[in-house]
A and B are shown apart, each in its own frame.
Chain A
């Protein structure tokens, strides 16, 4: 049977849409299936539309710049020359350009990371060590004084429902001896020394929480995953209540996941989510991946429900909805 152009175009658009990771309606799914049954020759073309739908997908591996390096690079370029129009590409080819770009990106990633975590860096009044530095299931400090309460912190993001000001007020109330982040401009300076929580007592005062975090990130940037994990764990052990340690929990979760230790990853993500902080989405998404790898489908679907309720517009949402659809 000769397909009409309009039904063929509709089918092509649906195939491309599915390949982009978007959820199909039941009607679209039926239309696609019916068309393919009536026009088996369409199978020859399927790769064309699927391939088009996937052209924008990440290319994986080290073939392309990491998101973090790109973020740092763009911000640095903009800040160094915010007005002047640029016509030359930023990171051109060539050995010299590649080396210069890599080192610049690595340095800036660290600086931007410090700046991003800085404002929530008000420390808890007391430091508490976990019982074991190796065990991700170790005791978690629930209070995370200095970060907004769970709801406020979550809502202060893209889907903000509560004014960020409210979060800051609540934060100030939770830590009355510490000024709100917006009133502490010195904290926003790049490379600022960590707060008193970020300083260990005793002989190891030279290596601050900030130093350890930077060290871990440098190791990661240079592909030394084991050294990065070791630095993150040292950070967790020595400054368990610091903002840097909170970041380390999510990083360790992601690294554990990448290393095939789904149970360990789950424990790290759960520890992070027992408190609050700005990486809630990353931790929740990592938790879903860990549950999936552990084969805990029921828990995974519940976690997906929770994720979609909190971040309905996330870039992960279409794939998670598709996953839900595949496990009704």
Chain B
């Protein structure tokens, strides 16, 4: 684990010895040390231990998934406090679901669905709360800095364009372009058909383009 309070990117297994159960998948590959089956079997045992409440296994699981989960939360939430909260809720959800991991996919593949759903729920609740109290981003809340030079070239803040999209289209665009998920993955995460995802993505992408082009055409400039 990184130790200076900056970024945790990776953690070695710090817990007790694990004997990997001899499953058909581990036998199938004649158990070469680096086989994917072996790694998944080992991970399955670690996640199982986490689900049983083993503290080191829980620390290992959270540390391993933390960068990915934070990325998801940052993509969906503008305010830093919201992104932090959403990431923590998603990680807690993953810990609570650890006992359900069956090793059918990688730990990351299993966890990202849980994390995306948790973050989407959080973002939806925040949006509803914002509407109720008419919260204004220019207030005291800290938001992500827009120091990206490419995004600065846009007539308005990127988030402003995203805000104008219907929620389903915005989610599809963020999951695909900001997080790199495939159509099928997004369909699974959002529990709709791949065709629906394609349609939302197409409409959302076209709407974003149109809004940017319109702003450029009328010479609109963001307020500094």
Contact = CB atoms under 8 A, between A and B. Distances in A.
Contacts, number: 266
Interface in B65-85: 66-68, 70-72, 74-75, 80-85
Contacts of B9: 281-282, 285, 314-316
16 contacts: A17-B180, A46-B153, A47-B151, A50-B151, A71-B1, A78-B95, A89-B82, A90-B88, A116-B56, A155-B33, A157-B12, A163-B18, A220-B4, A278-B12, A279-B1, A285-B9
A77 B92 contact: yes
A91 B88 contact: yes
Contacts of B144: 59, 63
Interface string A109-127: 1001101110110000000
B39 A160 contact: yes
Interface residues of B, number: 83
A78 B14 contact: no
Nearest to B180: A20
Nearest to B206: A5
Interface in A104-147: 109, 112-113, 115-117, 119-120
B171 interface: no
Main secondary structure of the interface of A (DSSP, over half): helix
Given A45-B212, A51-B151, A157 B10 contact: yes
A64 B66 contact: no
A284 to B, nearest CB: 10
Interface of B: 1-20, 33-34, 38-39, 42, 53, 55-56, 58-59, 62-64, 66-68, 70-72, 74-75, 80-89, 91-92, 95-96, 122, 141-142, 144-145, 148, 150-154, 158, 161, 173-174, 176-180, 202, 205-206, 208-209, 212-213, 216
| Interface size class of chain A, counting residues whose CB lies under 8 Å from the partner chain | 35 or more
Residue from B12, B38, B64, B152 with most neighbouring chain A CB atoms (10 Å): B12
A109 B5 contact: yes
Interface of A: 5, 8-9, 12-13, 16-17, 19-20, 22, 44-60, 63-71, 73-75, 77-79, 82-83, 86, 89-93, 109, 112-113, 115-117, 119-120, 153-165, 167-168, 180-182, 188, 217, 220-221, 247, 250-251, 254-255, 258, 278-282, 285, 311, 314-316
B14 A120 contact: yes
Contacts of B85: 89-92
Contacts of A89: 82, 85-86, 88-89, 122
